[in-house]
Amino acid sequence: MSELLPALKMLYLWNLAVTDGSEWLKDLKPALALKDRKMLAGLGLIEEGKEPRPGGKRTVRAVRVSLTDKGWLYIQEHSEARVNARSYTAGEVLQKLLARLSRYMAVNDVHLAEILAANPAGAEKSASENPVSPVTGTSLEEVRRRILRHWVELAEPGGSVRLAALRARLTDLKREVLDQALLALAGDRFLSLYPFDDPLAVTVEDARSSLTVAGRAMHLVVLQ
């Protein structure tokens, strides 16, 4: 999807993002017409479903709207796209975003200048911080972006991707290069590696493509 969304729909996605990616339809602003929500759902950016919502003396089933993995990725890749600044919701979204930014800085000991200053100290990462493979010339950050892009396309119900399928999409990377990148990204908590719960689910290709961690063969990739 290359075309930018209209500013109001972009604001709608951002509001979902700053509310943990999911919100009750009744509470979600700006209010979009059903046809507009269907358009976003048709693009694979959001999904809707009815869930129990406690309220008053009884629990009712209400519509909940959630960002999909593709929706998260779209916002990330179009983070500079214009939003509808005239909507009252824009101020609320900004306030929620700033609150999350504040918590992120506190938890990760990051200074605001490192994020917002034009030329913050240390902005240019050294080769040791963002290593480049001597074989492919590919940085860890580039591998991370490619894994994210393919994961969105390949993710099965439950949010997992077979390592075999991921390797098939990254054939230009030598196996040891991808293995090192996966282990580094797992250490950074960008992703997790899991084995199949059911040994019978492991195909020959799964076994061939597995990555051994602490003596166990891992077959699945799940983003954190």
Per-residue pLDDT of 120-155, as tens digits, reads 444 444 434 555 444 445 677 888 888 888 887 888
Per-residue pLDDT of 158-214, as tens digits, reads 778 899 999 999 998 888 888 888 888 888 888 889 998 888 889 999 999 999 988
Residue with tokens 């990051």: 110
The predicted pLDDT at position 163 comes to: 93
Residue-range domain boundaries for the chain = 7-108, 140-223
Query: If you average pLDDT over residues 44-71, what whole number do you get?
Result: 86
The predicted pLDDT at position 15 comes to: 93
Taking every pair of C-alpha atoms in the chain, what is the biggest distance, in angstroms? 64
Beta strands in the chain (DSSP E): 22-24, 46-55, 58-67, 160-162, 191-194, 211-213, 216-218, 220-223
The predicted pLDDT at position 165 comes to: 92
Per-residue pLDDT of 68-103, as tens digits, reads 999 999 998 888 888 888 888 999 999 999 998 888
User: What residues contact residue 198 under an 8 Å CB cut-off, 6+ apart?
Assistant: none
Decide if pLDDT at 48 tops 70: yes
Give the tokens for residue 220.
Answer: 């699945």
Fold of 7-108: Arc Repressor Mutant, subunit A (1.10.10)
